[in-house]
Amino acid sequence: MSSAIRLLDAASIASDSSVSGIDAQQLGSARDTAARGNSRARNSFPFSAIVGQDELKRALLVAAVDPSIGGVLIFGDRGTGKSTAVRALADLLPPIDVVENCPYGCDPNDHDSCPSCPPSGTRPLQTRSVKVPMIDLPLGATEDRVLGALDLERALAAGEKAFLPGLLARANRGFLYIDEVNLLEDHLVDLLIDVAASGVNVVERDGISIRHPARFVLVGSGNPEEGELRPQLLDRFGLCIEIRTPDDIAQRVDIVRRRDAFERDPVAFAEAWAEGSTNIAAQVAAARSRLSQVHVSDETLERCARLCLALGTDGLRGEITLIRAGRALASFQGHDTVGIAQIREIAAPCLRHRLRRSPLEEAGSDARLQRTLAEHLAE
């Protein structure tokens, strides 16, 4: 692999100028933390080595900066790197501190709502660092496996009534990934809608009554040709990405070359791209710490409202998501204020799945969205 490739960074996502607004000491500290997190052995394709798919990478980074945006839905052709990008992002992020022996991975600074953690101030907490959870939810998973259920082993062996946490507990403070999300069983969709909205999983069954934190970034991927997603769940995703097979020969060759190099020697390939991945991880960490300081002007709010009104989006989730995503993107790029440039960059993922479709409009077409963006978000 050439030295040029080894030194290539994720320039399409974060240029040197985009970091200029971030305090140097803050970014340096974040980079040190990210480097420690990325020193572990990698099993995933490096995020910084992904070719193209800029809108997808931007959306995932924005969701990582502000998980309250509501997750990312990725629709596209098979074999376009949807799951690769998701797993690469989770592997990219620095480790998180959790309460020792807590089945929900609670934050040591925010654990009062946890049924397993001791109340604050009662005794010193033991903590440890773990990778950001990346939990797969299989299409055939049972309700017990997802929500959690009675621990039968302890019930039979010791006669104790205890709760066995499910996938939602393991995903707390991380990512819950559903491949082929449009094929998910309806009863699981209903469960996810409730938990994704509240951030709390409530289990009332088998003589058990328990509430535990379940705040996660919901990421779903699928092929729209294989079925539609239920509107109730579709609305819960903050961002929606549509990706297609690249038609540029040079880009296709570059993708195949990098994938082949990764499969032949994953460790060496990850080392070659470690600097780029560490820089992106540092920007995410710095952006999280300064997110609350980013200002949104009344003029920007008004233009977002006018845009959503012109598009005819249902409810107000469009505006709310647009402002949150714009703030996260501005923070990631090192800006103190959300400008029209950030809104323009993130508007399509925020709004394309909230449009009312015309019977005469081609399904999945972005033409009306792009026209309206050009009219309302011009400088």
Rounded Cα distance between 346 and 120, Å, is: 39
Maximum alpha-carbon separation in the chain: 69
Q: Using CB atoms within 10 Å of the CB of residue 209, give its burial: 0 to 12 exposed, 13 to 18 middle, 19+ buried.
A: exposed
Residue pair 9/276 in contact (Cβ under 8 Å)? The answer is yes
Contacts of 110 (CB under 8 A, 6+ apart): none
Q: Which parts of the chain fold into alpha helices (H)? A: 3-7, 24-37, 54-65, 82-92, 143-147, 152-158, 167-170, 186-198, 231-234, 249-264, 266-272, 274-290, 298-311, 317-333, 340-351, 367-376
Catalytic annotation present for 317: yes
**Catalytic residue (choose from 211, 306, 317, 344):** 317
Coil/strand/helix, residue 74:
strand
CA atoms lying within 13 Å on the CB side of residue 10: 28
In terms of DSSP bridges, do strands 127-130 and 96-99 run parallel, antiparallel, or are they unpaired?
antiparallel
DSSP code, position 364: T
**Token digits for 362?**
């081609």
Active site residues: 317
